[in-house]
Structure 1
């Protein structure tokens, strides 16, 4: 292929940023958005994990991208579609039934994002000389992860600012998604201008003429050690897949809910009297009495910034009262079931607000990830993957212990949370570089683009299935035991990594003569 690859710094960073940002918004930021719009942990874990599906099944259409058109045309058209989808999500959030409608639009964006990944990965593998790939792999990984932190950090911070400004989460997230759509439009235009333009269509290349969908798939499953490789890819992120779905709810869930036993409000006093006379006595309540209890019983929520009342939310048309007042209703149902003997319910979250989460991930966490990713790329390019694979994987998983400590001790000093996030982000940036390098090894040979897509498709399946169950597991175990389980779930992947076979110096940069 003839192309200008003398200035990869001009196109590699933003091309990979355009892969990571949609992924971050669809898979991660959507979790926080739905949490702040009143969706339960169980529904969040189940439905947002289904958004992985396009990445799981992308190998089914990756050969089509491999054999038709140019990679450049594919990733530019997909980035434009992603931009439009985010704009539509922004305009849909204020409507009734927004949850399923936005999920459907996110799914279209996920399909476009997965296709964009296939084309971008293929473009990188075809345009950049092999001896430069290990070095720029660290840069790719860093900018991909930076884009995810721009989503999890700066975009979340912006949404939190709008939440406080308007005191309306619906309006805040609507505006946020519109801005994300406009940002993706700008990135698409940048990539149109700066990516190399003289790419040859693989379908016109004689060495690809003999290939078809069947031969591409079959050749992948004939690779050496393929059974062990696929099991490893499926289980390596077993713990991380659950952690990513429940980490944001853990950070923003309140510390506890508490009943207020005195009030100056007349209606609240009526609800308290009902609670003290009938609930404590275990007497079954009439529907009208239940409505009074749900709407007027004074309840406060404790967050990191103190205690505040849980105000009643008026449901919109076609919405259930219990759905939009889940926190109040769940707490009061607990009081009724225990006959009023327990006035406090520990939720176990860290009690942060949206801006706190954005600030943590968008500042020191971003710096730590950048350093980790760059050091990972340099380490592999200098000494090869064999030497660094296991230490990188340990660095990626051990920081989960920090979240276990947070869940058990709930330190009041917020910089403890910063420290845990810094370690997690550095370890992720350093360790995930090794995993990506191994996937490049798996894709070696003919049809690199399609084979890399197959490998990442199995990786996405390993993320989707455990993620779908994460909300139910968290609710059953509670946050403390959930993080212990997540740490245990990383062990099978670490063990399997010791049985992988690949060239000793794979990824090591060739010595210049």
Structure 2
């Protein structure tokens, strides 16, 4: 999308085990602080489900638009500088979220700070992946790919278990607002510490810009890459498929944790913040990771076309456990934890299908890396759209009927998956491949 970055044929002398874990932990921690911790904080502060859905969806739109400004990061002297800078800035903004809770106008201040956290995190994601690619050769990229996913999900584990458990305990001892101030200040300190460590540990990954490359040239290239993306054969059907894939999952991932907290007389399970952290953040995260690994092997064995319907069903059918929980309202944490483990395993197992669809069907072509970034932006758009309306639908239907609706939302994408190609068009048929090139991606 921009001028070529440094070659990755000369891998960094820095040991990847010294920086890959800290790099991807710093990628996952702020994402889940916004996606999970902030939603639970707002629930504790008394916001209704529809307001939580609206505002968290709006805040997370930063991940939709990050491909639009990502090429301009090549103007920085190095990817390391961008990564470390946004880790430190993001850490400061996380601390300001906590401090904002002490203000009379706490809600507006929190939304503003969380938006800055999201922008920093989304920008960091781009530079983080770029540094990884530029600093390792093809063998190294494959060797440490598992570490990237493991430590990104460590951010989920820390957020959805440790931070929620801590927040729930502090709510009982300090009060709600002080409790979440402490939680966000702890996350802030963790991000600043990661930034300082990575300023030492990360390889330089210097940006080597082509002669004459400047912001105007990059903007011109960006326009051509966008045009090439929308000239791909069947792209609008692919966009529809990507958006619909997350229709059910986006809604249940938004409302499910809030349902666990909701009072029993209002149809929820009445769990405390600590109990949600215990069942959703610990066993749920482990089940999600296990499902992701199993889904990868399953798809590799069958191929994407044969596996896709099963993957879609895996994401959506386990949502039936939420319907069961809303009907039975069990008291046992063991029963609730087992049900949520099934749901999260299916989520991890099936989500592989969307990632591979974007990689193997949408991205291939001249601008493969950039077009994959656009596809992930569209994926986040679909997530945000359904997240935004999830609270309104839940309030209109009630929890039981809402979870039935969530399962029904999977039908369109399941049908569409049987009607569309599951492989990329041949290069000779791809009009985007014939587009005039301004510069390599």
Larger Cα-atom Rg: 1
The answer to whether the Cα contact below 8 Å between 2:163 and 2:183 also exists between their aligned partners in 1 is yes
User: Mind listing any 5+ residue stretches in structure 2 that lack a counterpart?
Assistant: 1-6, 426-441
1:453 corresponds to which residue? Answer: 373
Q: 1:231 aligns with which of 226, 236, 240?
A: 240
Question: Which residue matches 1:502?
Answer: 423
Which residue in 2 is equivalent to 1:192? 199
Asked if 1:146 corresponds to 2:149, the answer is no
Q: Quick check: 1:93 aligned with 2:12?
A: no
Matched, 1:177 2:184: yes
Q: Which residue of 2 aligns with 1:511?
A: none
Cα shift readout 1:211-260 (whole Å, capped 9, x = no counterpart): 7221222222233431222111111111112112211220011101xxxx
Distance (Å, rounded) in 1 between the aligned partners of 2:143 and 2:416: 26
**What is the aligned counterpart of 1:204 among 210, 213, 220?**
210
Tell me the alpha carbon deviations over residues 300-356 of structure 1, each in whole angstroms, 9 at most, x when there is no partner: xxxxxxxxxxxxxxxxxxxxxxxxxxxxxxxxxxxxxxxxxxxxxxx1000100000
- Partners in 2 of 1:465 and 1:404 — Cα distance? 22
Q: TM-score, normalised by structure 2?
A: 0.85
Task: Report what 1:336 is aligned to.
Answer: none
Aligned partner (choices 51, 70, 75) of residue 62 of structure 1: 70
2:289 paired residue number: 370
C-alpha displacement at 1:403, in angstroms? 0.6
Change (3 A) 1:135 1:33: same
Greater share of helix: 2
For these two proteins, the number of residue pairs brought into alignment is: 412
Deviation at 1:370, TM superposition (A): 2.7
Q: Deviations over 1:444-492 (max 9, x none)?
A: 4455553333112111111112212211111110000011111111222
Q: CA deviation at 1:186?
A: 1.9
Equivalent residue number for residue 4 of structure 1:
11
Q: Give the structure-1-normalised TM-score.
A: 0.73
* Alignment partners' CA distance in 2, 1:413 and 1:214: 55
CA distance in 1, matches of 2:227, 2:403: 39
How far 1:62 sits from its partner (Å)?
Answer: 2.0
Residues 94-133 of structure 1: matches in 2 within 5 Å?
94-129=102-137
Q: Secondary structure at the match of 2:423?
A: coil
Aligned residues: CA RMSD:
2.8
Show the counterpart of 1:219: 228
Deviations 1:125-148 (A, max 9, x none): 444555676775554344323312
* More off after superposition, 452-461 vs 175-184: 452-461
In the alignment, which residue of structure 2 is the partner of 1:24?
A: 32
